[in-house]
Structure 1
Amino acid sequence: MREIDPDLSVVVPMYDEEEVLPIFFERMRPLLDGLGVSYEVLVVDDGSRDATASMLLAAAVDWPELRLVRLLRNSGHQAALSAGFRRARGNHLVTIDADLQDPPEVIAELLAAVRTSEVDVVYGVRSDRSSDSWGKRTTARMYYRLMCRLVGKDIPFDAGDFRLVSRRVVDAVNALPEDGRVFRLVIPWLGFPSTEVKYVRAERAAGTTKYNLSKMFRLAFDSVTAFSAAPLRLATWLGLLGGVLSALFVVGALVVKLAGNSVPGWTSTVLAVSVIGAIQLLCLGLLGEYVARLFQSSQKRPQFLVGYDSLEDQGHKALEEETVSS
């Protein structure tokens, strides 16, 4: 017989988080037990190389609401979130990172907001990011301003992946055919009624960040290419600019030639070739990124592969025990 679905699913993507897990257990379980709702903590282990998976399995022995879904390989933060959306059973779903920079205590406020406001999405918005480094705050500010300009003003400013969504939002996201989705853009794009809960971002509880600068730039580039054709238009404008500069250069060269002041040289030639060549390469690179996305989409490869789900493992064990007893 199938178990009743929980009221709340807390999806937590993890990658090499063994250092923060004891603190995570200490803070998360008492909080969720005190909410007065049935819940599951669905941890998506994104191919960790340390003891993260074994520590989670050991904790699940005494914490039945803890569920481990392990991906076969490291697929990335957004892919881990997609796996959580696919596997979660709750009527409401909260996504939160394991580093505890987004305080789990705010989950109670998210639940209260969705009940009082009758909305489908509650965004956790960082009102104070002083715990982050100057570089992190600066790049984050640039990212959200760029997204608001390219995608639209519906994107909550300074809202990461800490949010609560209803089951119909989960179903709508899972029904989308696209791979490589960026959740902080996809969910606002869907247009469900939403509200915000502000909180102060804390320092990382333990360990080191796994989201380095290159991954941040990759997220920004994926966000732009997945939701906007602006880079293609940029390529067009750069091509037009290159054409205008070339025309001006030709006119100037003819004027100098007719005046009899032309001196053989290489500076102007090198300058012209460098400028036009750089613009052409940039345009080709932007076009190549879009062609690559189309190619990846045509392959229809799965964004992630689940290697283990503790809930299914428990179900198999229960079925075996029932068969033996009968």
Structure 2
Amino acid sequence: MNVTSADCGQPSSIPRLSVVVPVFNEEDVLPLFTQRLRPVLDDLGVTYEVLTVDDGSRDATPAVLDMMRRQWPQLRVVRLRRNSGHQNALTAGLHRARGEYVVSIDVDLQDPPEVIAEMLSLAESAGLDVVHGVRTDRSTDSLFKRWTAALYYRLVRRVVGASVPHNAGDFRLLGRTAVDALTELPEHLPVYRLLVPWLGLPSGEVTYARQPRAAGRSKYPIAKMIRLALDSVTGFSAAPLRVATWLGCAGIALCMASGVAVVAAYLWGTVVPGWTSMFVALVFLGALQLLCLGLLGEYVARMFTTMQGRPPYVVTFDSAVSSRNRPYATTGR
């Protein structure tokens, strides 16, 4: 659902820049983020809005956002009824952003807000629809985080294609053409770091050194990282199904070879007790079948979710719509 300035009861003027910030349980880092972001945007010399999407926070984040909104007129608060996930919160922000350019950035300050000025300058001077923020230095991340990130990008570039920028997360600038194209896509499980390159729009890159989290704890544990990887692969390629087919063929070939070996041993009269080999073969084939069923299940689950038609998020409040701060409910797609 797109919200225009007329729908929101706001003046018809459209801000030059919208900054979309998904937020979930970030009461500690929000004040630090504001101190860094506001001077950067004020110095740009363009009209802007900052659209924070509260993804069902359970701490003091809503109260902190309300206090910040009273002190910062350009700050806009969108609140989701429940936690819907980072990508869906980003979707809610993109659907409601009114700016000619839209920047998405996380609140943890690992992606420096100062880079936004460089992104906007590059997009305007080169006529680009997309500017990716690319991390050239991840030394502040743990060794495990760097290793899993490198594995993830190698995997998606191999499956999806080399158009996916290496080490580019969700810190990017989008022109209105790109935003409108994304909002028209019927994606229920969007992965924007893959969807945006898929559009094939003119794009550029701005590099920066990834910084340590300013406060609080990471909201992307290993379980969510695995979920993101699964959504990335199953949402953009049928390669896992082909892998399952090849694994099945390999299992059949192995079984045929084992059968030939058993017959040969019988003909030569060298019958050896084969409990160990039989056990290993059964375990191997069982694991192979479960793996193939699991891969098929991922695709069936995606089709089931799409057929249900449930919205990926529910907005219960938008400060740009309800001037009296009375909650309302709308759904995404």
Helix, strand or coil: the match of 2:71?
coil
Residue aligning to 2:301: 292
Structure 2 residue corresponding to 1:241, chosen from 242, 246, 250: 250
- Of all paired residues, the percent bearing the same amino acid is 57
2:329 matched to which residue of 1?
A: none
Task: From the superposition, tell whether residues 21 and 2 of structure 1 become closer, same or farther in structure 2 (CA, over 3 Å).
Answer: closer
CA distance in 2, matches of 1:67, 1:220: 31
Measure the CA separation in 2 of the matches of 1:205 and 1:265.
Answer: 60
In the alignment, is residue 91 of structure 1 matched against residue 94 of structure 2?
A: no
Amino acid corresponding to residue 15 of structure 2 in structure 1: P
- Return the match for 1:274 from 279, 283, 294: 283
Structure 2: gaps of 5 or more residues: 1-8, 327-333
Aligned pairs for 1:170-319 within 5 A: 170-314=179-323
Alpha-carbon distance, 1:263 to partner: 3.7
Q: Against the structure 1 CA distance between its residues 282 and 199, is the aligned structure 2 distance closer, same or farther, given a 3 Å change threshold?
A: same
Displaced runs of 4+ in structure 1, greater than 3 A? Answer: none
Q: Deviations over 1:225-264 (max 9, x none)?
A: 0011110010000000000000001111111112222244
Deviation at 1:5, TM superposition (A): 1.8
Q: Distance in 2 between matches of 1:64 and 1:186?
A: 32
1:233 and 1:252 mapped to 2: Cα distance? 29
Number of the residue aligned with 1:132: 141
1: CA distance, partners of 2:225 / 2:143: 15
CA contact (8 A) 2:10 2:320 kept: no
Match of 1:45 in 2: 54
If each structure's helix is expressed as a fraction of its own residues, which one has the higher value?
1
Contact 2:152 2:229 in 1 (8 A): yes
Supply the AA of the counterpart residue of 1:224: V
Amino acid in the other structure paired with 1:84: G
Distance, in Å, in 2 between the alignment partners of 1:82 and 1:17 is 19
Rounded to whole Å, the distance in 2 between the matches of 1:34 and 1:263 is 81
The residue aligned with 2:4 is: none
Q: Alpha-carbon deviation of 1:281?
A: 1.1
Aligned residue in 1 for 2:129: 120
Moved more, 308-317 or 229-238: 308-317
Task: Compute the displacement of 1:315 (Å).
Answer: 7.3
8 A contact 2:319–2:325 mirrored in 1: no
**Which amino acid letter does the alignment assign opposite residue 131 of structure 1?**
T
In 2: Cα distance, 1:198 partner to 1:63 partner: 29
Q: What displacement does 1:268 show?
A: 2.2
Q: CA deviation at 1:67?
A: 0.6
Does 2:150 correspond to 1:141? Answer: yes
SS at match of 2:21: strand
Match of 1:27 in 2: 36
Distance (whole Å) between structure 2 residues aligned to residue 21 and residue 2 of structure 1 = 26
Partner of 1:73 in structure 2?
Answer: 82
Alpha-carbon distance between aligned partners in 2 of 1:110 and 1:252, rounded to the nearest angstrom: 64
Q: Letter of the 2:171 partner, please give it.
A: F
C-alpha distance in 2 between matches for 1:290 and 1:76: 20
- Write the letter of the residue equivalent to 2:201: F
SS at match of 1:313: coil
> Tell me, what secondary structure is at the counterpart of 1:122?
strand
TM-score by length of 1: 0.95
Q: What does residue 159 of structure 1 align with?
A: 168
**Which segments of 5 or more consecutive residues in structure 1 lack a partner in the other structure?**
318-326
Aligned residue pairs total: 317
Aligned to 1:5: 14
Tell me whether 267-276 or 108-117 shows the greater mean CA deviation.
267-276
Q: Which amino acid is 2:244 matched to? A: A
Instruction: Describe the SS at the equivalent of 1:169.
Output: helix
Determine the C-alpha separation between the residues in 2 that align with 1:73 and 1:120: 32
Alpha-carbon offset, residue 265 of structure 1: 4.2
Name the SS for the 2:322 alignment partner: helix
Following TM superposition, by how much is the alpha carbon of 1:64 offset from its aligned partner in structure 2, in angstroms?
1.1
Deviation string for 1:21-74 (max 9, x for gaps)? Answer: 111111111211111111110000111010111111111112111011111111
| Cα-Cα RMSD | 1.2
